[in-house]
């Protein structure tokens, strides 16, 4: 008997295509504008996962021709010091995007720092002004991970109108903004979270299932509707019995691949799309800023 296998949503390949397009546009514009786009990624402390993400973001910037103004601060850096740095970056005309890598050490107030970023330079789309625009369905900078998921679905021409979408997770980083974006795309949206009883009941009838809980293997094949589109946002490091560590998502990949129509791999699915959207956000701010300054007809 032939076993069915889901088609993979290749985030890595789509992200590479977006980066190529951005690189070409930046190469064309930079001589006219007189500077490249600039992104400042601020990192505090030495969380190894955060350091790896920041490295990845800076490497991606270098690839497409975005200048990095990133700074790495010691763990004991104070709120006041970071506020000063953000103020200076807000005023720096070479910088189009500012991002504070989360999580921050406990003594720092991340929300207040996010509020301080100029909403026009909010590359991560987490400032309340940009989140408010999302709620209202107005154009604005969108959170990178949910925007990357929407773009991935669009690239594979997966229609959302009238579809039942279940988002597992309600964080301000992924679940909540994604639910709003799916709603904007005319899906009927259910948001499940850690206090939702009978999770399977909420996932089993979803045409589009997004897992963003950070719980390895939370979604089993029995919880997935045959023919569903399954997007696995989770990035979990696990150590197997022989002591080897690897990254897995929230979805039981092998068994769910036998039920779903489309499925994202981990790694290589949503992660690279997140980085591509960060570059895209920085570029769109650059376009807007350069239009204002030089009155270029871009």
Q: How far apart are alpha carbons 61 and 64 in whole angstroms?
A: 6
Q: Does 258 bind ligand NAD (CB under 6 A)?
A: no
Residue (88 or 238) nearer to ligand NAD, CB: 238
Has 30 been annotated as catalytic?
Answer: no
Asked if 193 and 176 count as a contact pair (C-beta separation under 8 A), the reply is: no
Q: How far is the CB of 60 from ligand NAD (least distance, A)?
A: 12
Stretch that binds ligand NAD, among 2-10, 60-68, 177-185, 213-221 (CB under 6 A): 213-221
Q: Does 199 bind ligand NAD (CB under 6 A)?
A: yes
Choosing from 63, 115, 133, 215, the residue that interacts with ligand NAD (CB under 6 A) is: 215
Asked if 158 and 229 count as a contact pair (C-beta separation under 8 A), the reply is: yes
Q: How far is the CB of 170 from ligand NAD (least distance, A)?
A: 4
Choosing from 210, 270, 276, 278, the residue that interacts with ligand NAD (CB under 6 A) is: 270
Q: How far is the CB of 232 from ligand NAD (least distance, A)?
A: 8
Q: Does 268 bind ligand NAD (CB under 6 A)?
A: no
Asked if 84 and 116 count as a contact pair (C-beta separation under 8 A), the reply is: no
CA dist 209 → 2, 77, 87 (Å) = 25, 40, 40
Residue 292: Cβ-neighbour burial (10 angstroms; 0-12, 13-18, 19+): exposed
Has 101 been annotated as catalytic?
Answer: yes
Q: What is the residue-wise DSSP string for 94-125?
A: T--EEEEPSSPPTTS-HHHHHHHS-GGGBTTS
Q: How far apart are alpha carbons 168 and 193 in whole angstroms?
A: 6
Residues that bind ligand NAD (CB under 6 A): 145, 168-171, 173-175, 192-194, 196, 199, 212-215, 218, 233-236, 270-271, 274
């Amino acid at each position: 008997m032939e076993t069915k296998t889901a088609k993979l949503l290749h985030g890595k390949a789509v992200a590479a295509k977006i980066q190529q397009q951005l690189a070409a546009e930046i190469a064309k514009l930079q001589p006219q504008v007189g500077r490249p786009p600039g992104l400042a990624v601020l990192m505090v402390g030495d969380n190894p996962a955060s350091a790896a993400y920041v490295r990845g973001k800076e490497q991606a910037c270098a690839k497409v021709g975005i200048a990095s103004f990133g700074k790495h601060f010691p763990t004991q850096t104070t709120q006041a010091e970071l506020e000063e740095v953000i103020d200076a970056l807000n005023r720096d005309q070479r910088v189009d995007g500012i991002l504070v890598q989360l999580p921050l050490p406990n003594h720092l107030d991340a929300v207040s720092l996010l509020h301080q970023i100029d909403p026009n330079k909010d590359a991560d789309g987490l400032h309340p002004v940009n989140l408010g625009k999302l709620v209202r369905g107005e154009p604005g900078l969108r959170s990178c991970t949910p925007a990357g998921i929407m773009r991935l679905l669009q690239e594979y021409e997966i229609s959302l109108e009238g579809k039942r979408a279940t988002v597992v997770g309600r964080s301000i980083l992924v679940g909540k903004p994604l639910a709003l974006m799916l709603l904007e795309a005319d899906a009927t949206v259910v948001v499940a979270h850690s206090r939702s009883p009978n999770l399977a009941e909420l996932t089993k009838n979803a045409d589009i299932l997004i897992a963003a809980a950070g719980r390895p293997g939370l979604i089993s094949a029995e919880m997935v509707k045959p023919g569903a589109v399954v997007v696995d946002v989770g990035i979990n490091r696990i150590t197997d019995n022989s002591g080897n560590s690897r990254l897995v998502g929230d979805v039981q990949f092998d068994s769910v691949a036998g039920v779903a129509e489309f499925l994202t791999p981990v790694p290589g699915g949503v992660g690279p799309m997140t980085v591509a959207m960060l570059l895209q956000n920085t570029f769109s701010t650059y376009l807007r800023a350069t239009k204002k300054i030089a009155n270029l007809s871009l």
